[in-house]
Amino acid sequence: MNNYFRNALRLLLVMIVSLTSACSDDCHPLVSGVADYAEGGIYDKTDGDSDGSKGKMNYNGYTYEVVRIGTQWWMAENLRTTRYNDASLISQVTDDDEWSDLTTGAWCDYDNDPANGAVYGKLYNWFAVTTGNLAPPGWHVPTGTDWGALSAFLGGTLAAGKLLKESGTAHWESPNSGSNASGFAALGGGGRFDFGPFYSLLDYAFFWTSSPSGSANAGYYTLSYDGSRFVGDVDDRSAGYSVRCIQD
């Protein structure tokens, strides 16, 4: 093989390796221009930092829709990363017994079906939340106070749910009162019990807070298909819930 073809082959191999290594394990096939923006930075804002403005944010190979609600920037999709923000892997755990015994961070897809993960995002236990490394740079998993401020801005516990939920019955059971007037676009992603089984797809959305409760529980907020309530509660830290992030 002459030097010309040898060098051309080397260049081709370098390009292949570079393209492969540039994409994390959770790269999304529809992502474009990820390298053009810093991880966690908001771009393509429709109306600056005004209430109702929308934009985009890149994190671990996926582009998320984001929305300004009041004075807060929120992700308008559930988190779906399989890596922490330091690039270390989060464990995927499918077995019920293994899930129930965990004391470290983990994720799963609802019913362990990647098709559900592609629509509703991943479910995480609270041990993944409490690492402090789950959210994109410049963002964090909301505290109970963050969620409370969102609820208050949207009319309080009895009214906020309607404004937060996606409308229609594609991702919620009927009847669904959601109007998505806030742009938050909550889906009925269901959850995973602390002892392993999945439940309530299309019926409920559960979102972790970063706030602990006692020695074994943590706070979460929930929405239901048949009402407009948006309420907080506590559950075992081994439960599997969705995660939304808020900008610092």
Residue 132: exposure state from Cβ atoms within 10 A (0-12, 13-18, ≥19) = exposed
Q: How many residues does the chain have?
A: 248
* Pick from 129, 122, 123: nearest CA to 104: 129
Distance from C-alpha of 145 to C-alpha of 48, rounded to nearest angstrom: 25
Domain boundaries, the chain: 77-247
Sheet with 204-213, edge to edge strand ranges? 204-213, 217-224, 231-236
Q: What is the pLDDT of residue 33?
A: 45
- CA torsion through residues 230, 231, 232, 233, sign: negative
Residue at token pair 């706070």: 219
Distance from C-alpha of 70 to C-alpha of 39, rounded to nearest angstrom: 23
Along the 248 residues of the chain, how does pLDDT read in single tens digits?
Answer: 454 444 444 444 434 333 433 344 444 444 444 456 899 999 999 999 999 999 999 999 999 999 999 999 999 999 999 999 999 999 999 999 999 999 999 999 999 999 999 999 999 999 999 999 999 999 999 999 999 999 999 999 999 999 999 999 999 999 999 999 999 999 999 999 999 999 999 999 999 999 999 999 999 999 999 999 999 999 999 999 999 999 99
Conformational region of residue 238, where left means phi above 0, alpha means psi within -120 to 50, and beta covers everything else: alpha
Contact (Cβ atoms closer than 8 angstroms) between residue 169 and residue 190 = no
Q: What is the pLDDT of residue 142?
A: 98
Question: Phi and psi of 217, rounded to 5°?
Answer: -115, 175
Q: What is the pLDDT of residue 36?
A: 67
Which two three-digit tokens encode residue 198? 């999945």
- Render the chain in DSSP notation, one character per residue: --HHHHHHHHHHHHHHHHHHHTS-TT--TT--SGGGS-TT-EES-SSTTSTT-EEEEEETTEEEEEEEETTEEEESS----SB-TTSPBPEE---HHHHHT--S-EEE-GGG-HHHHHHH--EE-HHHHTTS-SSPTTEEPPPHHHHHHHHHHTT-TTTHHHHHBPSSSSSSPSS-----TTS--B---BEE-TTS-EE-TTTEEEEEEEEEETTTEEEEEEEETT----EEEEEETT-BBB---EE-
Q: Please compute, for residue 106, the number of CA atoms within 13 A of its CA located in the half-sphere on the CB side.
A: 22
